[in-house]
Amino acid sequence: MSTTAADDHGAKLAENVVHFARVLRRAGMPIGPAKVLDTLQALQVVGVERRDDFYYALSTVLVDRHDQQMIFDQAFDLFWRDPSRAQQSQQLRDLLSGVRTPVAKESPVAPRIAQAMQPNAQRDTPSESSMPEISFDAALTMSRREALQTKDFAAMTQDELAETRRLIGTMRMPLPVIPSRRAKAVLQGNRVDLRSTLSRMIKAADGFVEWRYRTPRLRPATLVILCDISGSMDSYTRMLLHFIHAVSNSGSRVHAFLFGTRLSNITRALRDRDVDMALAQVAREVADWAGGTRIGACLREFNRGWARRLLGQGAVVLLITDGLDSDDAGELGDEMERLSLSCRRLIWLNPLLRYAGFEARPGGIRAMLPHVDLFLPAHNLNSLASLGAVLNAAAHRQSSSGCRTPHSAGERHGNVQDSNRAGRAGSRLGSTQRSGIAAGLHHGL
């Protein structure tokens, strides 16, 4: 090969590497010019004679985290495939179209990779003739964003749903911090550290004693999310799953469950930072999408199998459901009571609260309401964005009487406890404590 041909080959390779880096950047990976230069230097060292060496060189330089590897692999297979080999494979498939042959199961391509491989994806740049309209377009963009904040998820178009998913992905919901049982030394405080003070007294030669203090350490509160995926919640399930994924990636003390006719733990599936990969894994693990609703049975399974291991340290529970249950309301009320006694705070998010004239008439809703602390809507971006402040207040809010104090908005929605019902609840709580069934489950009440 002549020197000119080698130079042309190197220039073409460098151009393709730059294009490949742009594809990865459009797919969400943090690829900058420095990484592109490092990739070109790595290829000069390892060469391009072997495809596996070429793959590992690019992967070593461009991939920073384990969750980026699947995105890189799919983009690599699509971008660096041999056109002639792909054409030959297509011809063979056409020839053998009438012959039954086993087809290898391929992993689905992530939507962000499909969009990043499009030549004009996110490449719309304004021309000089449209420059005077920039301020007008920006105003419209802000108006659309403000309209999305209050628009119901069920009434959105496909374009609005895509924009809403992007906004939910940028949400960051820091978990509230609560005092733990462990303490740390501080210079000033309300709790005297007698052990440290006496130790200093023994060592002091002049008899002068300086008081030592301790204060409880702060730790993130555990957040447990129980989300309904039945048919009546189908219009909100997708957006709520994006929201749960964003919350799960905000902290490590988040546990997520889905329920319809059965309970499914999706905490491990949501650990993938790529929302498309995470939700694809959730779809493979959960089988009861858009089906019936058995809230009482699913809560009983959670209370028996998961409550003691997850709610034993003052966890806050988010229950996302419309409360339309097909089972016995009496069983649902008993399981809700057990759940409320096991957690620090129980917050119910109900999309039906979008209606101004909502009334708690179904038996399931009336059975659940007496046992929740907060009863809030979850049908648009504003309701989800304000949840961070609600969680922080709910984690620290305590009742001086030892009984649960429902949210003030609960009175409008039927969450009113009369004296007779409060007396019955108190007697049930006393019998439960005497029998020892809920021993160790009254953290933060």
Residue 101 clears pLDDT 50, i.e. is over it = no
Q: How many CB atoms lie within 10 A of CB 295?
A: 28
Tell me the C-alpha distance between 39 and 57, whole Å. 7
Question: To 5 degrees, how large is the angle CA 191–CA 194–CA 196?
Answer: 105
Q: Which domain holds residue 301?
A: 221-435
pLDDT band at 400 (very low <50, low <70, confident <90, very high): very low
Residues 367 and 327 placed together within one structural domain of the fold? yes
Residues 314 and 394 placed together within one structural domain of the fold? yes
Residues 23 and 68 placed together within one structural domain of the fold? yes
Residues 360 and 260 placed together within one structural domain of the fold? yes
Q: Strand 254-259 relative to strand 223-228: parallel, antiparallel, unpaired? A: parallel
Residues 421 and 379 placed together within one structural domain of the fold? yes
Residues 227 and 274 placed together within one structural domain of the fold? yes
Could you tell me if 241 and 282 are in contact, meaning their C-beta atoms sit under 8 angstroms apart?
yes
| pLDDT at position 122 | 45
Tell me the C-alpha distance between 141 and 147, whole Å. 10
Could you tell me if 244 and 170 are in contact, meaning their C-beta atoms sit under 8 angstroms apart?
no
Residue 442 clears pLDDT 50, i.e. is over it = no
In the listed set 16, 50, 81, which residue is the last one of a domain according to the structure?
A: 81
pLDDT band at 77 (very low <50, low <70, confident <90, very high): confident
Work out whether the CA dihedral 353, 245, 302, 295 comes out positive or negative.
positive
pLDDT tens digits, one per residue of 19-73: 888 888 887 788 888 888 999 999 989 888 888 899 999 999 999 887 788 888 8
- The domain tally of the chain equals 3
Tell me the C-alpha distance between 42 and 56, whole Å. 10
pLDDT tens digits, one per residue of 178-204: 888 888 888 888 888 888 888 878 877
What mean pLDDT comes out for the span 63-91? 75
Residues 186 and 263 placed together within one structural domain of the fold? no
Residue 167 clears pLDDT 80, i.e. is over it = yes
Contact partners, residue 176, CB within 8 Å, separation at least 6: 220, 221, 316, 391, 392, 394, 395, 396
pLDDT band at 357 (very low <50, low <70, confident <90, very high): confident
Query: Is residue 303 in a domain?
Result: yes
| pLDDT at position 107 | 56
What mean pLDDT comes out for the span 264-275? 90
In the listed set 24, 52, 81, which residue is the last one of a domain according to the structure?
A: 81
